[in-house]
Amino acid sequence: MKAYHGAYHGDLAIKARYLGRVRAHAAADEIIKGQYWQHGRGCAVGCTIHGSDHGAYEIELGIPQILARLEDVIFEGLPNKAAKRWPASFLEAIPVGADLSLVWPRFAVWLLTDSENGVLRLARADKSQAEIRAVADAYSRVIAGEVCEIDWVTLSAGDNCYAADA
C-alpha cells in the first residue's frame, strides 16, 4: 500500500497537472454548472478529474473526498463568474503535502456552532440544540486527537471515542 504524503501526495507535479487542467478548462469556457463531465465540459469536480467520482480526489490528488464534495456544493452555489474561477482557486489554496484530515471536522464545528452563521443559532427545540452540540462535540474530540465512531442515527459518540494511540 502506498504511503500517504498529504495533499497532491506530496508531489508538486500532481498539483501542477490538475491546476493546469482546470485553468485550461476555464480559459476555454468549459466550466459549467449542473453536469459533472460530458463532451469536454463540466463542473468543478468534473473539470478536475474528468469524471464524477468524488472519491477520485483521494486517489488522484490526495485530497479527502469530503472536501471534493464541499468544493462541489460551493461551486454550484456561486454566481457563474465566480464559479468559473472556483476550481483553480480551490486547488491553488491547498499546499503540496498539506495534511487535510482535520479540515472537515474544523469546518463542521464552525458550521454547526458559529454564533453568527452556525446551524445551532437556528435550532429552536432543546432536543435539536442538544443533537447539534453532540455532533459538534464529537468533531471537537476528533480535532483533539481522539478517534470517534459516531452513531448517526442517535447522533452520539459518547463512549465510542478513544485516544488515537489506544
Residue-by-residue DSSP string for 6-60: SGGGG-HHHHHHHHHHHHHHHHTT-B-SS-SEETTEE-HHHHHHSSS-TTHIIII
- Residue 91 has a pLDDT of 98
Return the number of other C-beta atoms located less than 10 Å from residue 103's C-beta. 17
Can you tell me the distance from the alpha carbon of 127 to that of 78, in angstroms, rounded to the nearest whole number?
A: 33
Q: Which residues of the chain have pLDDT under 70?
A: 1-4, 150-166
Cell of 82: 465566480
Predicted model pTM: 0.85
- Residue 1 has a pLDDT of 41
